[in-house]
Structure 1
Amino acid sequence: MIDFKSLHTQLLKLLSGNRFEVSKKTSQQLVDYVLLLHKWNQIHNLTSIRNPLQMLSKHIMDSLAISPYLRGPHILDVGTGAGLPGLPLALTHPHYHFTLLDSNGKKTRFLTYILQTLMISNVDIISLRVEKYDVKKCFNSIVSRAFSQLNNFLHKTQHLCCKDGVFLAMKGRYPIEEINNLDNQFQLIDTPALRITGLDEKRHLLIIGFNRSL
């Protein structure tokens, strides 16, 4: 039986090992989120990760790894699913405003419940397909952990990105073919490897902007 105390202890170890500093309130909220995700997941199948301890490394730490590359104050998480990476990032970046978008009503209902239960005020939940989502404001960062194809992600979200904003595509292995096929209206800015203590998996972040030379 995984309890709050053991999860919190393990999370603090992971945060320390990856040089993340968060408040006690935030670390407690992150654990509460994992426990609620584990509970809902038994009925609603929100994530393939079943073990709450694995959720700490594979979900929480994996999400927080892109923190240094975020541009605010307005951030959109496309295909957020169970709230990843947007929810952990929102908890650790309370000065930024996050919009979490997913077309799966089961998942957005879970996220709405999380916001109410944990009293999170810097997050909006949108239950729509991204191509149907249109707002007057633009986003400084558009993040995706779930989109399978890079150009597809960029084209479906470009109408939502500020001219000087960035697209942050989280990938596993270095996606050389997708990078080589990047449409010329976009520009690859950087491809940092994401090294996460406690997670033995290859992770990369593609940082992309609009090609200003066109």
Structure 2
Amino acid sequence: MTASTLPPDIEPTLRDGLRALSLDDAALAPPLLVYLALLVRWNATYNLTAIRDPREMVTRHLLDSLVMAPYVPDAPLADLGTGPGLPGIPLAIARPGCTVTLVESNGKKARFLREAVRTLKLSNARVAESRAEALAEPGAYTVITARALATLDRIIEVGGHLLAPGGQLLAMKAGTVAEEAAALPAGWRLAAVHELHVPGLDATRQLAVVERGR
């Protein structure tokens, strides 16, 4: 499957969603469609994601990743447990000034990530085939992200060493932020919680911004 053979309603749905997020659909839709087509094709064989309908992937994968784009600075970012590249690859496409390291220990997913980076010519993205806790790049990142990895304290436990002092963890949550923030380890604080709306998705989304102390 190529971008041209995706269902015909995919592109207008994606473009509408990008505009709803105040993102440039003319610039972003073409590479996102290439990524989506690649994901659909590989998923048929390698089971990279439980979501199989490309229409659902637009909402639950692409737009659900890009809703956090306004909060991502032009700086080194590590996406922990990225799976098939979510949110890391959509963010690398939307934020070319951000250098994204896609951290994934699963071999088949890492192979897909390398193929996606190569196909999309993402010069601002690289793949680290490793568990987050084993990645020996302490303090190398201004931002770490985790979309569906674990609770805030667990994310910090496995990946907090990657974050520079004063850096931020951006974690997508579904209404559990206050409870999880109460369990943050010493030296970390909840700096902000942003309520997010994903076009086409009737569900609660919150972006927790957790800062590492200086």
TM-score band by shorter chain is over 0.9
Please tell me whether residue 148 in structure 1 is matched to residue 150 in structure 2: yes
Report the CA distance shift for 1:99/1:131 in structure 2 as closer, same or farther (over 3 A).
same
* Structure 2 Cα separation of the partners of residues 162 and 67 of structure 1: 20
Q: Which runs of no fewer than 5 residues in structure 1 stay unpaired?
A: none
Deviates more, 1:15-24 or 1:161-170: 15-24
Match of 1:113 among 115, 119, 122: 115
Segments ≥4 residues shifted beyond 4 Å: none
Match of 1:7 among 10, 25, 29: 10
* Structure 2 Cα separation of the partners of residues 44 and 152 of structure 1: 28
Could you give the per-residue CA deviations for residues 144-177 of structure 1, whole angstroms, max 9, x where no partner exists? 0122221111122221111121011111223332
* Structure 2 Cα separation of the partners of residues 136 and 177 of structure 1: 28
Query: Which residue of the partner structure matches residue 166 of structure 2?
Result: 164
Q: CA deviation at 1:209?
A: 0.6
Report the CA distance shift for 1:113/1:72 in structure 2 as closer, same or farther (over 3 A).
same
Q: TM-score, with normalisation over the residues of structure 1?
A: 0.92
Q: CA deviation at 1:137?
A: 5.8
Which SS does the other structure have where 2:198 is aligned?
Answer: coil
Q: CA deviation at 1:71?
A: 2.6
**Structural RMSD (CA):** 1.8
* Structure 2 Cα separation of the partners of residues 172 and 38 of structure 1: 26
Report the CA distance shift for 1:148/1:135 in structure 2 as closer, same or farther (over 3 A).
closer
* Structure 2 Cα separation of the partners of residues 186 and 135 of structure 1: 19
Match of 1:78 among 77, 80, 102: 80
* Structure 2 Cα separation of the partners of residues 31 and 4 of structure 1: 11
Could you give the per-residue CA deviations for residues 27-50 of structure 1, whole angstroms, max 9, x where no partner exists? 111011111111111111111111
Query: Which residue of the partner structure matches residue 17 of structure 1?
Result: 20
Matched-pair identity in %: 34
* Structure 2 Cα separation of the partners of residues 96 and 162 of structure 1: 16
Query: Which residue of the partner structure matches residue 127 of structure 1?
Result: 129
* Structure 2 Cα separation of the partners of residues 71 and 165 of structure 1: 11
